[in-house]
Chains A and B, each alone.
Chain A
Amino acid sequence: MNPEGKKMAASLYGRVNAPTERCRVSFCTDMEKSVLMSNFERRGWHQVGPDDEWNFYWASTQTCRNLFSVESGYRMNDNQMINHFPNHYELSRKDLLVKNIKRYRKELEREGSPLAEKAEVVLHGGQVVTRYVHLDFIPVTFVLPADYNMFVEEYRKSPQSTWIMKPCGKSQGTGIFLINKLSKLKKWSREAKAPFHPQLSKESYVISRYIDNPLLIGGKKFDLRLYVLVTSFRPLKAYMFQLGFCRFCTVKYDTSVTELDNMYVHLTNVSVQKHGGDYNSIHGGKMSVQNLRLFLEGTRGRAVTEKLFAAIQWLIVHSLKAVSSVMANDRHCFECYGYDIIIDNQLKPWLVEVNASPSLTSTTVNDRIMKYKLIDNILSVVLPPEGVPDVRWNKVPSFEALGNFDLLIDEELLEKEDSTNSTSRTSKNNKK
């Protein structure tokens, strides 16, 4: 059989050789999600409680923070692993993400790095602004109430544009609304300060330029959910899962003011869309990224499609580099992030947010298959070949272990490559 045939056979009939680490790994989890449990079971791991001796903990972010807190006094041994970095929020909180990226750009600028090159661009309205050429991948964003004055200044520059307000600490589309007039924001802040809403006044928000020209397919807005696995921040080691998907709105995109409050038009979260009357539970509004690529290559051509996907990889790598210096790079940790990315109609990708606990709930049959593979592949990348957690391992998975993950960046390997053969070989990301 040729290699392709073998690959087909393997994917058809599942992996034949059962893992050998039977019963040597004990796991603990806060979430008895079926895609998790079935993976642990298939590997022959046995479940223990949080107070028992575990090797592998699939925890909520809260549990993880507690474990690492000084008060807990918990110390992990070399054969323990956990699925979050203790201060993941540097990446996953909407305000901190923006703060870190702004700082990262400033630092590069100060170093005189060519990455921080700036240029003037002309916006729709004829307004001329200065933007980073290579690092302009998040919509202009301010934190409220802290940056209110800066926001007003920016707002005045193009008063016709729309803005999106998002609570920093929430997810799944809750608390989000669009704003096209300053008066609406003022009204909101008055109401938030009102005595019967004391909890709101404490909450901080981000306000971002609303990307009002998203790429539409079939007239509908969508965003990408991509999975990125990080096994180390210093040196940075990251992998991207090939089987990401597009999440479509159920209602046609419409920029008219009357639809501004219609979340079925503007928010792509499945948790929002599934309450809509037009939600289809068979496909769940999800289309694979591979099919998106097929469609773009077929209708727009190859060059622009390649450029888009290269820009997406670029964006992910730099968002990670932006936090790599502040992350607590604990050797026991790995994390799988859910990236939310919007593509605009110029085929430019924009980073919307990064989730540290992307949903593992399966909405459709294909979703379940995909998420099962995701977990399986995560486990095989983060575990040493013997299958037992061991922080002394060099974290260089074999090609086979990657499964559906592609290497995004491994700074350690890059460095080695650079020093061993000075004839520079281009890395995957610099291809374009």
Chain B
Amino acid sequence: MENIKEETIHHTAMKLAEEIKNLSIYKSFYSDVQKLVSSPSVKKEDFKQTLQQAMKEKGLDTKLRNTVFHWVRTQNKQNKLDPLTSLSKASAQWEKRIHKSLNSMCSDLETSLAKIRSQSEQEELADKWNELSTYSLDLSKYRPVYAPKDFLDVLLTLSGYVPFTKEDEPKWEFAHLPLQVKTLDQLRKIYQEWANGEPLLGVNPNMPSTVPGFATLEAERIGLGERVAVLGYAPVIQEYLKKGSPQCLRAKLWSQVLGADVKQQQIIYFNQLKKNVLEVDLMIDKLIFKDVQLTASNDDQYFVFEDLLYQVMLCFSRDGEAARAAGASALRVAVKGRHAPDCLIAFPPSGVIPFHGFTMYATPFCYLYDDPVQLYFMFRAFYMRYWHRLHYISTHPQGIVSLCLLYERLLEANEPLLWIHFRNININPIRVVFKWLMRAFSGHLPPDQLLLLWDAILGYDCLEILPLLALAILSFRKENIFQVNTLQNVDAVLADLSTISVIPLLQLALMKS
């Protein structure tokens, strides 16, 4: 019995070791261990013991553990094909449509999808890399390829949405899609700490601490958070984030949980992406410029970060890792002006055709990192773990379709009167919250509130908090919603979220009254 157990452990360890060899950190990790072995602290006589001890002291032990943690998290059964062929078909069709409209935009504007930049253009771009807001481009003819509203329309066709006709009852629900979503009670089990009414950051910073030695909850969280950060053990940090991080520790803790810290290797990688931006002119670069302009540049919370965002978003479009994580299929396109054999590239390498507001997935990180490389890797890590699910069609339980369905179910079950009101005024309730969900509330909530919300996403490692917050906001404002009966007016009731306190609202929704 013992034997069998040991054998399976051995087997797993071998498999893990193989996997780790394929990871990008392997080379530097291996050489660190080699250095350690040749140091006097490791003794030949007691090799295993002393090496383990030395690895602990040098932090290599934590690094190895975190590496395994991050690897395991990427292995979630996600790679299985979507079981619903109808969805994967729809998804393929949608992508085709986007590509088609890109192509036609290209021919209208008499430009190509990809071409080599002229020498002078490369130089100008390189010169202005740190102030791309002054890089002059005529973007007046460029329009975002699509907006959340268009994406929603596509999703609604999946659900069999039939526009209302007098005879016909409107059918809105995603309900007939054979997807499992949680009930509020099941969510309470996940967000257990919240549901139990445990003290959370973001409710009242002066709330007294229950731990001796600390005056306030905030002081307590900072004290604990500093220790957790030094420990550097990702699963512990994840646990810590469930109750919210103080802003002063967030940058560190987030990058530790996602394994997104920046070393020499990341800097080289980022510069590679930058080089590619400078060399090749992708048609979507203009769309990226346009999107940063339309979103961040006109927003009083983010305009100061405009130049940082151009860099990050442009580099992201060149990053093939992003496409791999999302399982996206990109076009193959020839770069005009480049010779075979390497003239064919994935278009765009990231697989993401930016939609209106795509930049919002990156903007909040500007309040945590002022270095473009750090900002980049944090944004990318979030994208690869979470955000791609919000703009691709899939049956994943964290995917946008499931989140929409969850929202509908929650609303119907917990705010039946609101549900009926929406029916009576013939508005599909998903319409009024969809942009929140698709952008994970970025650009809708003020940054301090948004960061608290995203703590919870990391802490519980799931996106179900988004539909739950949508529900909570609706019920908070229901009296005002009851008084209006057009989509425009409901939107007006919900337009300004600047006064919303996210954490108390969510905790109230999760606590049984």
Contact = CB atoms under 8 A, between A and B. Distances in A.
A299 B307 contact: no
B301 A282 contact: no
A2 B505 CA distance: 10
B368 A299 contact: yes
Interface in B120-136: 130-131, 133-134
Contact of B251 (A217, A220, A288, A298): A298
Contacts of B247: 294, 297-298, 302
Interface string B102-125: 000000000000000000000000
Contact of A12 (B370, B451, B499): B499
Contacts of A248: 303-304
Interface string B292-327: 000001111101111110000000000000000000
A282 B293 CA distance: 12
A295 B367 contact: yes
A59 B366 CA distance: 42
B368 A298 contact: yes
A388 interface: no
A253 to B, nearest CB: 11
B179 to A, nearest CB: 33
Contacts of B499: 8, 11-12
Contact of A366 (B300, B307, B477, B504): B300
B367 A283 contact: no
B504 A220 contact: no
B236 interface: no
A5 interface: yes
A295 B307 CA distance: 16
Residue with the greatest number of chain A CB neighbours at <10 A, chosen from B133, B300, B301, B370: B300
Contacts, number: 90
Residue with the greatest number of chain B CB neighbours at <10 A, chosen from A8, A298, A301, A305: A298
Nearest to B204: A4
Interface string B476-513: 11000000000000000000000111001100100000
B222 A298 contact: no
Given A8-B499, A8-B500, A298-B367, A291 B248 contact: no
Contact of B504 (A2, A11, A287): A2
A220 B370 contact: no
Contacts of A285: 303
Contacts of B505: 5, 8
A4 B300 contact: no
Contact of A364 (B297, B300, B308): B300
A345 B65 CA distance: 39
B335 to A, nearest CB: 32
B305 A294 contact: no
Given A219-B307, A286-B300, A287-B303, A294 B504 contact: no
B308 A280 contact: no
A126 interface: no
Given A5-B508, A290-B448, A291-B447, A299 B304 contact: no
Nearest to A302: B248
A290 B300 CA distance: 12
Nearest to B496: A12
A125 interface: no
B197 to A, nearest CB: 11
Nearest to B503: A4
Interface of B: 130-131, 133-134, 203-204, 222, 246-248, 250-251, 297-301, 303-308, 366-370, 446-448, 451, 476-477, 499-501, 504-505, 508
Given A283-B298, A298-B247, A298-B251, 7 more contacts: A5-B508, A8-B499, A219-B131, A220-B304, A284-B300, A287-B300, A288-B301
